[in-house]
Chain A
Amino acid sequence: MSKAKWMGISKVRESIATSSSEEVTASYLDTILKSRINGYVTINEGAIARAQDIDKNKDGKGHDGVLAGVPIAIKDNISTKGIQTTCSSKILQGYVPPYNAHVIERLLDAGAVILGKTNMDEFAMGTSTESSHYGTTLNPWDHEKVPGGSSGGSAAVVAAGEAPISLGSDTGGSVRCPAAFCGVVGLKPTYGGISRYGLISYANSLEQIGPIATNVSDIATIMDVIGGYDPRDSTSIKQEITYQDSLVDDVTGLKIGVSDEYFAEGIDEGVEKSVWAAIQKFEDMGATWEKISMPHTKYALASYYIIAMSEASSNLARFDGTRHGLREEGENWHVMASRTRAKGFGEEVKRRILLGTYALSAGYHDKYYLKALKVRTLVKQDFDKALSNVDVLMAPTMPTPAFKIGEKIEDPLALYLTDVNTVPINLAGVPSISMPCGLVDGLPVGLQIIGNHFDESTIMRAAYSFEQNTDHLAKRPAGVE
């Protein structure tokens, strides 16, 4: 099995049963080594040893786990004990965390084998993975296109058959956008659904870790492993959801809301058609749809960026050269820190820190930060109202298919504007899944299915039904079986 393949978790487990985790892991590593897409920042040197341990049941617990021996790729902003974790930044080059994120503990307990750390926009600040210090990741469908971001590596390696499943993080669309651009499935769970302990913060009040996979069932499998309450994250919420139970092929009576605000000016015609076709398909399958209004959507983007940048300016203050990562010389500590940060952060990260610092600073706090939080209230109210009338909302994940590498990187605002359909979801804290619903000019289109807080079951059921009754997930990038 040297050729790159899409394999779901059940297929991987079958392979492990007939050969071994070691063999399966080695074959993924082999694919990764031959890859040209630059999806990984760091390969886990202990992957083979870990697979062997699982094969021999050495750790005594992972063997029976639902992910026993199953390889997984982890976004490089999730702390992995003993494995370099850089957030694709120069400032964290060489940083090896002495502890595991909550999700990593859960995955290891379930027997997973970490293949490596995936490439991303530096500190998750981006929509294209072009801001990585370690080079852009290429879209497996078209190497001239971006894979989306910020979890571009996590989506691209799954699409390219370099990992069966992966974890990303979604602050304003960072799981759903690359899932859409790479033609795979990605979930942004309800805020508080997965512990953020060990996720290196970009914008704490907005982000969640989320899984990426080639099919809806695998999303459920991973969520059952990593989801749920963790006392180490004060924003984690006690909610019992069994994701497997939501895998029901039935949308009879499902009420879908569609908001024109998500098909705003600048939307690609092909994307619009694909999404409407999907909604039509749901209708064929027994669901109904209606138009709903989300009047504050157009202000969501500004609100999101102000909040995210403000929080980021504080979150990233700890990278001062003192305890980890890069350190530049300076005649005193403050100069050392200023130089370290000037050299260690990329341009986009610096811009966002400066804007966030400005938005929180004396005299501007109320004009920007406070106002953004009030708009957040209004956006959330839009969702509360909409979701009291319908079960789910459907919308294009991204207004266009993957764009060309370099096309928008010189114009930050143009890049921000591509997040228009994903950021409102983070402001409201609701769950959303992105899954393929067609191809435009050979590039995948993502359908976003949005639900109410902790009503993942409903969006998962819708996604599963759509998957079972269409063949969009059978389409793969060239060269991948």
Chain B
Amino acid sequence: MAYHNPDGVMIGLEIHVQLNKLNTKMFCGCSTKYHNDEPNSHVCPVCLGLPGSLPVINEKAVEAAMKIGLALNCEIVPQTQFHRKNYYYPDLPKGFQTTQYDFPIASEGKVFIEGEDGEHVIGITRAHMEEDPGRLLHIGSIDKSKGTMIDYNRSGMALIEIVSEPDMRSPKEARRFLDKLRNIIEYLDVCDTTLEGAMRFDANVSIGGGSRAEVKNISSHKGAERALLFEIVRQKNLLRRGGTVVQETRHFDEARGVTISLRTKEQEHDYRYFPEPDLVPMRVADRTAKVAETLPELPDAKRERFTKEYGMADMHAKALTSEIRTADFYEEVAAKIDAKICTPWVADVLKGELNYRDLTVESFKVDDMVEIIEMVTQDKITEKSAVDVIRAILDSGGSATDIVKEKGLIKVEDDVVSTAVLEVIKENEAAVTDYLGGKEQSLNFLVGQVMKKTRGRADAVQAREMVLASLNK
């Protein structure tokens, strides 16, 4: 069913991906591992913008940018260079940001997402390299602050700015796009997206073809959805009251969940871009093939392979490939256990339990998963017990073997079950009579009694069959 987009919502996103898996920053040799260190302890003359310092391009950052470009199905530009984007802000130690302008390293790509009405294509306008500014701490909120504290540890970190077309029609699609993008970035191994500030977003929002507002300072996928919802409602209310949406830049206050106006178009910057004279051009087209060789299998390709190679439903393939760690986990399990059997265990059961707890697959061992599935297939534990074991491991740790032992989950032998069946039939004459008299639900009661007697270790389906067999004798 086609999605009608009743409000004419158009959302475009700009995503800054920090290349924090590099050893050093974009233009200097300062370490990128500053996250747990003192402020202003990972700075040098270059990233502190000291007079006389000069930048030198990190080759690995350029390769990472090309990787990202290729993964987003972009064209890689034959020749490019860095520009200076001139504006004044205290987080910008040189008074300009070294970034790319007319020739971004990558452009004209696309990303496929699960849209409101099935597969939806989001156009990628461009992906370019730039440096991160420092970090500002406002003493109080930004609009009522007493002062600003500045830490330049982040200054000069390599960023890739990805700009999308305004192809998203709802906050949900925006969220899906961001999830997909994160997924791809993680596959490429260029960014640890769990680190603070690793992915940051700005959004352009317009409704009904009106002016667009740019919302800055969004720092999480959840925040993006909230900010967009707020902004759409704000614009709708404004229009309903007869107002007009003005082109402006707004700041998302994460704590309050609102967007506030920073500046209108009239106050927009004149960035006075010009080519950075301290850096020479880059001619990287001939490296594209080599970089492409280093690309891992990407989510879409992996998803397709999973359906073919493991014969699983697309829904399962999607769930398993949405994070590279889950996909790798699955393939390790599938190497030991028949895919038909292990797919639901990993894709449905384990993923469900992980999601419920906000955990990642790193919290679970491949060996435990293999062992648990084997115990089920060898009829040693019931499926229900298996789920219990998975939950126990996630909640309190321990190995599958130990938990099965501790909890006495090993399935009881058939004769124990048949003894229990006989006992239950003997002890519940009334129910037996009811069943024989046509009261179907009495069977459930009798099976329940058997399960109770065996403390749940009996297989419910099997117990049912045995009760039925005894009754029909």
Residues of A within 8 A of B (CB): 77-79, 85, 87, 92, 95, 97-99, 101, 196-201, 203-205, 231-235, 310-311, 313-314, 316-320, 322-324, 333-334, 337, 357, 360-362, 365, 369
B310 close to A (CB within 8 Å): no
What's the Cα separation between A278 and B356 when bound, in Å?
89
What residues of B have a CB within 8 angstroms of the CB of A204 in the complex? 277-278
| CB within 8 Å for A234 and B280 given contacts A98-B45, A323-B93 | yes
What residues of B have a CB within 8 angstroms of the CB of A323 in the complex? 48-50, 93
What residues of A have a CB within 8 angstroms of the CB of B54 in the complex? 196-197, 232-234
Q: Give the Cβ gap from B253 to chain A, nearest Cβ, in Å.
A: 19
What residues of A have a CB within 8 angstroms of the CB of B45 in the complex? 79, 97-99
What residues of B have a CB within 8 angstroms of the CB of A231 in the complex? 56
Interface on chain B toward A: helix, strand, loop, or mixed SS? loop
What residues of B have a CB within 8 angstroms of the CB of A201 in the complex? 51-52, 278
The answer to whether A92 touches B53, judged by C-beta atoms less than 8 angstroms apart, is no
Instruction: Give the residue of B50, B53, B95, B150 whose beta carbon is less than 8 angstroms from that of A314.
Output: B95
What's the Cα separation between A313 and B56 when bound, in Å?
21
B240 close to A (CB within 8 Å): no
B84 close to A (CB within 8 Å): yes
19 A-B interface contacts by CB (under 8 A) = A97-B45, A98-B45, A98-B50, A99-B50, A196-B52, A196-B278, A198-B53, A200-B51, A203-B277, A204-B277, A231-B56, A310-B274, A314-B84, A316-B95, A319-B51, A322-B150, A323-B50, A333-B148, A357-B272
B57 close to A (CB within 8 Å): yes
Instruction: Give the residue of B52, B57, B84, B94 whose beta carbon is less than 8 angstroms from that of A197.
Output: B52
B88 close to A (CB within 8 Å): yes
What's the Cα separation between A323 and B148 when bound, in Å?
13
The answer to whether B90 touches A333, judged by C-beta atoms less than 8 angstroms apart, is yes
What residues of A have a CB within 8 angstroms of the CB of B115 in the complex? none
Instruction: Give the residue of A234, A313, A334, A362 whose beta carbon is less than 8 angstroms from that of B278.
Output: A234
The answer to whether B94 touches A360, judged by C-beta atoms less than 8 angstroms apart, is no
Near A by CB (< 8 A), chain B positions 198-220 give: none
B55 close to A (CB within 8 Å): yes
The answer to whether A318 touches B277, judged by C-beta atoms less than 8 angstroms apart, is no
What's the Cα separation between A323 and B90 when bound, in Å?
9
Residues of B within 8 A of A (CB): 45, 48-57, 84, 86, 88, 90, 93-96, 148, 150, 270, 272, 274, 277-280
The answer to whether B52 touches A198, judged by C-beta atoms less than 8 angstroms apart, is yes
The answer to whether A97 touches B51, judged by C-beta atoms less than 8 angstroms apart, is yes
What residues of B have a CB within 8 angstroms of the CB of A198 in the complex? 52-53
Q: Give the Cβ gap from B40 to chain A, nearest Cβ, in Å.
A: 10
The answer to whether B86 touches A314, judged by C-beta atoms less than 8 angstroms apart, is yes
What's the Cα separation between A97 and B57 when bound, in Å?
23
Q: Which residue of A lies closest to B82 (CB)?
A: A234
What residues of A have a CB within 8 angstroms of the CB of B90 in the complex? 320, 322, 333
Question: Contacts A77-B52, A323-B93 given; 16 further ones with Cβ under 8 A?
Answer: A79-B45, A79-B51, A196-B52, A197-B53, A204-B277, A231-B56, A234-B278, A234-B280, A317-B95, A318-B93, A320-B88, A322-B93, A333-B90, A360-B86, A361-B272, A362-B272
What residues of B have a CB within 8 angstroms of the CB of A314 in the complex? 84, 86, 95-96, 272, 274
Q: Give the Cβ gap from B323 to chain A, nearest Cβ, in Å.
A: 38
Q: Give the Cβ gap from B320 to chain A, nearest Cβ, in Å.
A: 45
Q: Give the Cβ gap from B304 to chain A, nearest Cβ, in Å.
A: 43
What's the Cα separation between A240 and B192 when bound, in Å?
43
Cβ-closest 3 pairs across A and B: A317-B95, A360-B272, A204-B277
The answer to whether B52 touches A199, judged by C-beta atoms less than 8 angstroms apart, is yes
Q: Which residue of A lies closest to B89 (CB)?
A: A333
Q: Which residue of A lies closest to B86 (CB)?
A: A314
What residues of A have a CB within 8 angstroms of the CB of B52 in the complex? 77-79, 97, 101, 196-201
What residues of B have a CB within 8 angstroms of the CB of A196 in the complex? 52, 54, 278
Q: Which residue of A lies closest to B280 (CB)?
A: A234
What residues of B have a CB within 8 angstroms of the CB of A92 in the complex? 51
Instruction: Give the residue of B51, B55, B86, B277 whose beta carbon is less than 8 angstroms from that of A205.
Output: B277
Q: Give the Cβ gap from B57 to chain A, nearest Cβ, in Å.
A: 7
| CB within 8 Å for A361 and B95 given contacts A92-B51, A197-B54, A323-B49 | no
What's the Cα separation between A72 and B296 when bound, in Å?
57
What's the Cα separation between A320 and B88 when bound, in Å?
9
The answer to whether A337 touches B88, judged by C-beta atoms less than 8 angstroms apart, is yes
Instruction: Give the residue of A200, A205, A320, A369 whose beta carbon is less than 8 angstroms from that of B95.
Output: A320
Q: Which residue of B lies closest to A196 (CB)?
A: B54
Q: Which residue of B lies closest to A203 (CB)?
A: B277
What residues of A have a CB within 8 angstroms of the CB of B93 in the complex? 318, 322-323
Q: Which residue of B lies closest to A316 (CB)?
A: B95
What residues of B have a CB within 8 angstroms of the CB of A97 in the complex? 45, 50-52
The answer to whether A234 touches B51, judged by C-beta atoms less than 8 angstroms apart, is no
The answer to whether A318 touches B95, judged by C-beta atoms less than 8 angstroms apart, is yes
Instruction: Give the residue of B50, B57, B94 whose beta carbon is less than 8 angstroms from that of A234.
Output: B57
The answer to whether A365 touches B272, judged by C-beta atoms less than 8 angstroms apart, is yes
Q: Which residue of A lies closest to B136 (CB)?
A: A333
What's the Cα separation between A365 and B275 when bound, in Å?
12
What's the Cα separation between A310 and B96 when bound, in Å?
13
What's the Cα separation between A307 and B33 when bound, in Å?
39
What residues of B have a CB within 8 angstroms of the CB of A369 in the complex? 274
Q: Which residue of B lies closest to A357 (CB)?
A: B272
What's the Cα separation between A138 and B184 when bound, in Å?
65
What residues of A have a CB within 8 angstroms of the CB of B280 in the complex? 234-235
Q: Give the Cβ gap from B112 to chain A, nearest Cβ, in Å.
A: 37
What's the Cα separation between A53 and B347 when bound, in Å?
72
What's the Cα separation between A337 and B93 when bound, in Å?
12
Q: Which residue of A lies closest to B87 (CB)?
A: A317
What residues of A have a CB within 8 angstroms of the CB of B279 in the complex? 234
What residues of B have a CB within 8 angstroms of the CB of A361 in the complex? 270, 272
Q: Give the Cβ gap from A262 to chain B, nearest Cβ, in Å.
A: 27
What's the Cα separation between A231 and B51 when bound, in Å?
18
Q: Which residue of A lies closest to B147 (CB)?
A: A333
Q: Which residue of B lies closest to A317 (CB)?
A: B95
The answer to whether B278 touches A360, judged by C-beta atoms less than 8 angstroms apart, is no
Q: Give the Cβ gap from B144 to chain A, nearest Cβ, in Å.
A: 12
Q: Which residue of B lies closest to A359 (CB)?
A: B272
Instruction: Give the residue of B51, B55, B56 whose beta carbon is less than 8 angstroms from that of A318.
Output: B51
What residues of A have a CB within 8 angstroms of the CB of B53 in the complex? 99, 197-198
The answer to whether B88 touches A334, judged by C-beta atoms less than 8 angstroms apart, is yes
Q: Give the Cβ gap from A102 to chain B, nearest Cβ, in Å.
A: 9
What's the Cα separation between A171 and B448 when bound, in Å?
93
The answer to whether B51 touches A311, judged by C-beta atoms less than 8 angstroms apart, is no
What residues of B have a CB within 8 angstroms of the CB of A234 in the complex? 54-57, 278-280
What's the Cα separation between A102 and B96 when bound, in Å?
24
| CB within 8 Å for A235 and B278 given contacts A101-B52, A360-B86, A360-B272 | yes
Q: Give the Cβ gap from A232 to chain B, nearest Cβ, in Å.
A: 6
What residues of B have a CB within 8 angstroms of the CB of A337 in the complex? 88
What's the Cα separation between A369 and B86 when bound, in Å?
15
The answer to whether A311 touches B49, judged by C-beta atoms less than 8 angstroms apart, is no
The answer to whether A360 touches B274, judged by C-beta atoms less than 8 angstroms apart, is yes
Q: Which residue of A lies closest to B56 (CB)?
A: A234
What residues of B have a CB within 8 angstroms of the CB of A197 in the complex? 52-54
Q: Which residue of B lies closest to A95 (CB)?
A: B51
What's the Cα separation between A310 and B277 when bound, in Å?
11
What's the Cα separation between A313 and B272 when bound, in Å?
10
